Each structure stands twice: as C-alpha cells, then as structure tokens.
Structure 1
Amino acid sequence: MSRIPTLLSSLTLFFLMFLFSCTSETEEILGEPEVITEGFQFTEGPYWHPDGYLLFSDIPANIIYKWEPGNTESDVYIQPSGNSNGITSSPAGAILLAQHSGKVSQINEDSTFTVLADQYDDKRLNSPNDIVARSDGKIFFTDPPFGVSDEDRELDFSGVYRLDQDGTLTLLFDGFDYPNGIALSPDESTLYVNDSATGQIFQFDLLEDGSVENQSLFASVGERDDTGAADGMKTDSEGRVYSSGPGGLSVFDTEGNRIQILGFDERITNLAWGGSDYSSLYVTAPNSVYRVQTNVSGR
C-alpha cells in the first residue's frame, strides 16, 4: 500500500515534466526579431537564394533588392520588377515572380523577364500576389485584386491557380475575397491558402496531377486590424504553419492550433526560410526586413 503514493507522485512528476518540456519547446520556436536592413516603401516576397543571399520586393518602388549577410544596406537586383510581390524558384533554380502588373514571370539570366501567365479565359489576371512551386515544376499562385482599378479589372473573382510546365493555367478555387499567402506542406500533399479579408487559412488536399479537393478550414489569424492582416505563409520541416497577420507572426501546429505569436514594431507582410541551415526566418514589413532565429528548420 505504501508504494501507491510514491508511484502516483512519480507519475505526477513525469506528467508535469512532460507538460513543461512541451511548453518550453513551443515558447522557444521563435526568437526575437532583429532588423537587418531598412528604409523601404513596402517590402514583400522574401526569398533566400541558395547562393547565400536574400531577395525581396519593394512593390511601390518597383524594385527587387538583394541583401547579403553582414551588410545593413541592400542593393538593387532588378528594376523595374513589374511591381513584384511573391518570389520563389522552380526546381531547376529559375527565379519566379508574382507581379502586381498582372503577370507571373521568370527572370532570365540576362535579367529580362519571360511571362509565364498573364491571362485566364482571355482576360487579364488581377494582381498575382504570392507564389510557390512544387518539386515536379507545377506552380501555384494567388490572384487578388489589390491595386487594380475597377476600370482595369477584367476578372470578377479572385483566384487560386495552378500553372503547368506547358503553360496551361488552371483555376483551382475562386471562393476567397482576397486570397494571399500560399504554402505547401513538407510532403506536398496539402496546399494552404489564406484570405486577407477574413484571416482564415484553408487547407486543400493536393493531388498528384495538381488538382485540389476536400477544402477545409485549418485555422485563423484573426480579422485584419491596424497591426496587420493574413498575408505571407510558410511551413517548417515538421509541418507547422507560419502566417503573418494581426499581432505579428503566428505559428500553428499541424492540427491548426496556434502555439505562438511573435510581435514586431510594425505590421509584417511575408516571410521566408533562409540561412546556411534554413533555421532563420526572414520577415518583410513596409519599412524593414527582419531576421528571426528559430530552433527548427524550414523548406
């Protein structure tokens, strides 16, 4: 009989230690943000180049900048940029852009652009915003109407699209008001898209042929306010989802539970994994670009 209290005490201690370790890990995912470069109009679309530098867009300035570790200043990489927003790369290493000028383009070696898509159903795309490429070369992007006047707008919906290697553009979903951030799960079986109008993040089963099914609500960062709105997204190697939004940068576990939120001195817009081991998050904001050290790695 005397061993029962001892056993219960041991189990209680083990349970408390387990809870503490889980809480501690959650709290330590994101470190404190540090400004690495500043003095811009409205930065977006960060992308870590495998050669060891960061590219990011300044949308109204119509410039893509290049930042190298150890510097505080950033150099012009391409100007004009087609008012680029999201930046990513193809599996072959080509730089891909979502451009507010109504295009999805590839940067050529001579710094010119090859337009990959600018119309759907013979109508001008709205304002391609964010972009991600799957390992088989299929490209996925969002197309809200940000910055497009009523006179210039030709599509009466905001789309989420797939662009195939042969140039075929397929509308995957048109149920968002302002689709914005887009991300893939580590195994590329799930597509995440958020809506700046509602703060909701939806998940779709992504099939081998690039079609989607089983749309469902994954999580919400909350409705937009003065501190931000649902915008850029990324996943890490363990499947957690990171989204900018009201209050800063939110982290969700694979079940859609928010496990951390990190505040910034200004509203943030987008994020990208980078650094030598891809454990740093580079986060854009109107005036500045930040770096956040983490204890995990991304893709």
Structure 2
Amino acid sequence: GGPNGNAYDSQGRLYTCEFRQRRVTRTSKNGKVEILAARFQGKRLNAPNDIVVRRDGQVYFTDPAFGNQEDTRELDFFGVYHITPKGDLELAAKWKTRPNGVTLSPNGRVLYVADSDARCIRAYDLDRAGAVSNERVVIDQIPGVPDGIRTDEKGNLYVAAKTVCIYSPEAKLLGTIELSETPSNVSFGDGDLESLFITARTSVYRVRMGVKGASQN
C-alpha cells in the first residue's frame, strides 16, 4: 500500500499511513489488518503521510499530496485528521498548505504538525476528548523542508529538514545534527529510548542523545 508513517498504540497494534492506497490501516499482533480511514465525506483521502497515537487511543494523521498525487485528488484541501477510540474520523484542521510530520508533546496535550510549504511547525492544544483548538505557529523559518518530527521527554522538538534541527519547548534552536544526506524522518528507539534513529535517502543513522524520547504509550 506504499507505507509511510507508522505508530504503535499501547496494545502493540501498528498504525500505518498507506499513501499509495490513500488510507490508514491498523495491524494487530496476529496480523489482522483493519482499514481505519480511506474516505472523508465520500471522497478519497489525498495521501496519508504521518501518524501518531496518544496514550488514550486518540489517533492523528496528516493528509497532504506530493508530486503526481496532486493529479488524482478528490478533496480540494489538505488535512490533519483525528480518529477517535470509537473509530470515528474527524477533520481536525483544514489546510491550504501541506501538512507533513506529526507528533505529540510528552504530556499529550499539544499536537505538533510540520508545514512543508510554509517551512514552519504548527501546534494545537488537545483536550481530554482529543479535540484540537488554538492553532498557532510555534517555530518558523526552518532551514529546508520540514518532514518528520519527534519530541523527547523534556519537550524538545526534533525536526528533519535540511539537517535535524533540535528546538526547545520555547522554540529556541538548541543545535543541529549534520548528515551527508538530507534526513526525512526521526524516531527514538533502543530499550532506553535514548537513541535517535534518522532516515535519509540511502541510509538509516543512529545517534545516542543522552535524553529519552517522549513515550506516547
């Protein structure tokens, strides 16, 4: 299905954005695959890109369109979507620019979304029911095109763009991780969650950070 963004929930189920099939699926440990989202108001999604799952089962994903995906669009907007624990699909935010990477603050109260066209990071407040409010730009003038994003346990935000840029919760640039190729996504891993894995065009990099990634589950 052309898998792109992936995320696990607290039950170990894998959520996948399948951009070629234009849908979001969930795969259980036994291999059963469920389609969670494929259409909004009767029209096919553009090309689901990245996804995150909150501890309580709220799911958020981005739906941009890149390249030849533009030619087959049925929706006249790009979207950030919310799937409730009951399986209802809601449009959380309608965009004119293309949303890309998505992640949560460590406490699950803020949703961050990378805006690839405006080269910024937008944020939304989340309530207990998972509803979004208070859209705002929290980081702008990012060097390069922001793609995948993640937070660590301190609330710092890691942005894959021209390089990997690390920002404090107050949007101060703390540093960068320079690579020989352009990064596309970032994720914390290893048993202690202190390794940052970085995907790029031809390689996957691993950097020990000395700080744990934010655990969403």
TM-score (normalised: structure 1): 0.68
Q: Are residue 84 (structure 1) and residue 20 (structure 2) matched?
A: no
Please report the RMSD computed on the Cα atoms of aligned residues, expressed in angstroms. 1.4
Q: Are residue 157 (structure 1) and residue 72 (structure 2) matched?
A: no
**Partner SS for 1:269:** strand
List runs of 5+ in structure 2 lacking aligned partners: none
Q: Output the CA distance in 1 between the equivalents of 2:141 and 2:165.
A: 7
Distance 1:236 1:255, change over 3 A: same
Q: Percent identity?
A: 35
> Aligned residues, how many?
213
Runs of 4+ aligned residues of structure 1 deviating over 6 Å after TM superposition are none
Q: Compare relative contact order (CA 8 Å, sep 6+) and give the higher one, 1 or 2.
A: 1
Opposite residue 174 of structure 2, the aligned amino acid is I
Opposite residue 86 of structure 1, the aligned amino acid is G
User: Contact 2:62/2:81 (CA < 8 Å) preserved in 1?
Assistant: yes
- The equivalent of 1:239 in structure 2 is 155
1:218-268 CA distance string (max 9 Å, x none) = 1025253xxxx100000000111111112x100000111111111111011
Which has the larger helix fraction?
A: 1
Opposite residue 259 of structure 1, the aligned amino acid is L
Task: Write the mapping of 1:1-299 to structure 2, written as runs, cut at 5 A.
Answer: 82-100=1-19, 101-220=21-140, 222=142, 224=144, 229-246=145-162, 248-299=163-214
1:144-184 CA distance string (max 9 Å, x none) = 01245444210111000000122211111112511001110
**Partner SS for 1:208:** coil
Point out the structure with max Rg over C-alpha: 1
- The equivalent of 1:48 in structure 2 is none
- The equivalent of 1:43 in structure 2 is none
1:61-84 CA distance string (max 9 Å, x none) = xxxxxxxxxxxxxxxxxxxxx100
Q: Output the CA distance in 2 between the equivalents of 1:220 and 1:295.
A: 26
Q: Output the CA distance in 1 between the equivalents of 2:58 and 2:39.
A: 17
